[in-house]
Amino acid sequence: MVDVFGDNNSFQMLGGSSGPAGPRGRSGIIDLCKWMPNTVLKNLQELEEEGCFVIIDQHKDIKRNKKTGDIEEWISRSHNKINLIGKTPTKDIIELPNGYYALVFHKNHYFANLLDILDSSYGFLCVTFRTESLENQTLISTYNPDIPEQHYNEILVSASTITINGFNKDLKLVNVSIQNDCRQWSTLFVEWQEVKENTISGSFMVNNDETSRATFTFKRDVSRAKFIDVGCRGNLDNNPFIGSISALELYSTFEQQDLPPKALKDLVINNQLIEI
């Protein structure tokens, strides 16, 4: 049996007789995405992803402090159970037309140890958000204020721009941007792959629109700490995010593999899209 990426791994729930040999099960996965999308998505989120943060059931997906009402944890649906911990938690969520909820950030900060972005042989990030500020803000960052010389990656947003930061081979800060109205609900998909030792190349796009795609190549720092900050860059003095986040999914692997089929990526992206 193969997992949803075509590897001999954990996708064990769909049994059946063996079919003819094929190139890593690609056509089978495409068919499953079409005919059994909920099953494929559930297995991907729970068994394959490093972190899966959505709010469908407030009793299961978030943890509130009973006295203060603070949302102390955003609970991952992934089997890894690495949750987003509120260093400066919010109290507020809003209900969305698709039946989900979104966490509201008023200069709030969530942190997860052992999660990372742009630091594996292959990975993707999919996040849905909207901002209420015109200023440049930090959505997700791996910047370590205690070791400022260490490499980091981050996603910045303003009212009209999404920017991904990293470092080039000369260790100079590089930023790649696309134009987007971030005051509207936006689903950002970022995908990367190690193309040679300690060099990451990838692309990102918004709302599954190929015309919005931009590419990047960054130097990978294997010594950096593994964590993410959501809502700021190390602390709330650094460009805090003002807005809402409805979903965040992270996948990474250090095993060399082919890129997943478009049907699988479409499934992840379209599940997060919010139509108002």
Residue 10 has what pLDDT? Answer: 46
Cα 172 from Cα 78, distance rounded (Å) = 35
Q: Is the pLDDT of residue 6 over 70?
A: no
Q: Span 193-211, mean pLDDT?
A: 95
Q: Please give the mean pLDDT across all residues of the chain.
A: 90
Q: Which two tokens stand for residue 176?
A: 């790649």
Cα 274 from Cα 276, distance rounded (Å) = 6
Is 35:51 a contact under the CB 8 Å cutoff?
no
Residue 12: pLDDT band (50, 70, 90) is: very low
Is 153:165 a contact under the CB 8 Å cutoff?
yes
Q: Which of 21-25, 44-48, 95-99, 219-223 has the lowest mean pLDDT?
A: 21-25
Residue 14: pLDDT band (50, 70, 90) is: very low
Q: Sketch the domain layout of the chain as residue ranges.
A: 52-272
Q: 37 exposed, middle or buried (CB, 10 Å; 0-12, 13-18, 19+)?
A: middle
Q: Is the pLDDT of residue 29 over 80?
A: no
Cα 195 from Cα 53, distance rounded (Å) = 29
Residue 40 has what pLDDT? Answer: 93
Residue 244: pLDDT band (50, 70, 90) is: very high
Q: What would the pLDDT profile of 247-273 be if each residue is shown by its tens digit?
A: 999 999 988 777 888 999 999 999 999
Residue 275 CB neighbours (<10 A): 8
Residue 255 has what pLDDT? Answer: 85
Q: Span 56-72, mean pLDDT?
A: 96
Is 258:4 a contact under the CB 8 Å cutoff?
no
Single-letter amino acid code for the residue at 182: C
Hunting for tokens 């629109």 — which residue is that?
209
Q: Is the pLDDT of residue 20 over 60?
A: no
52-272 sits in which CATH class?
Answer: mainly beta
- Selection from 249, 274, 250, 242 nearest residue 92 by Cα: 242
